[in-house]
């Protein structure tokens, strides 16, 4: 009987260890980050959105602009491939593209650009003040770089995506240009939690 109790205790402690073990993420684990907790921005349909709207889904949030020549289309294409790799699990993932260029990224432009990568992707855009607020809240760097004409500017900006778990807690920072496999790996871990 004593051996049975010891064995039972050992099994319980092993179970507790496995439940508390940190997932083997490929991206940067930022669980418990003191910022990047919520947002309030309209989507390209004009509906005000908050992180809580997507509870029950893993959320990937990327900041960019539609006229970006490299980082943004590369990231969006990569996230599109991630969705394909996830197969049926992809229905439990919401990708949000947050515009850093409210001057040119109208709701109409976002409604064409963002779903072109995946029809489930959603674009968010506010005015200049709302853009500054969300960028500050999420510690996103962005700066307009003048072009040859007033409308031909580019925007230097942080490259990477925030990932939230199904409960809306910040969990990961996904680095730019790493390929879809590490992101798909980490999303699967979050989806199976």
Task: Establish whether 157 is an annotated binding residue.
Answer: yes
Task: Establish whether 72 is an annotated binding residue.
Answer: yes
| Residues 6 or more apart in contact with residue 128 via CB below 8 angstroms | 102, 103
| Residues 6 or more apart in contact with residue 180 via CB below 8 angstroms | 78, 79, 81, 82, 85
193 touches 169 (CB < 8 A): no
Task: Establish whether 17 is an annotated binding residue.
Answer: no
Q: How far is CA 2 from CA 8, 11, 16, 62, in A?
A: 10, 14, 21, 56
Annotated binding site: 68, 72, 157
Annotated binding site for Cu cation: 68, 72, 157
């Amino acid at each position: 009987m004593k051996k049975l109790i010891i064995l039972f205790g050992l099994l319980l402690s092993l179970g507790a260890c496995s439940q508390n073990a940190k997932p083997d993420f490929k991206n940067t684990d930022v669980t418990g980050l003191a910022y990047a907790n919520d947002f309030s921005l309209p989507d390209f349909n004009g509906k005000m959105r908050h992180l809580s709207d997507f509870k029950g889904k893993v959320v990937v949030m990327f900041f960019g602009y539609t006229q970006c020549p490299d980082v943004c289309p590369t990231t969006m294409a990569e996230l599109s491939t991630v969705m394909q790799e996830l197969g049926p699990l992809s229905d439990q993932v919401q990708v949000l593209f947050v515009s850093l260029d409210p001057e040119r990224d109208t709701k109409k432009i976002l409604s064409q650009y963002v779903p072109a990568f995946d029809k489930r992707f959603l674009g968010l855009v506010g005015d200049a003040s709302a853009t500054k607020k969300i960028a500050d809240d999420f510690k996103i760097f962005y700066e307009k770089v003048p072009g040859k004409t007033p409308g031909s500017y580019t925007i230097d900006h942080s490259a990477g995506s925030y990932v939230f778990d199904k409960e809306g807690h910040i969990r990961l920072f996904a680095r730019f240009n790493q390929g879809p496999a590490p992101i798909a790996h980490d999303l699967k871990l979050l989806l199976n939690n």
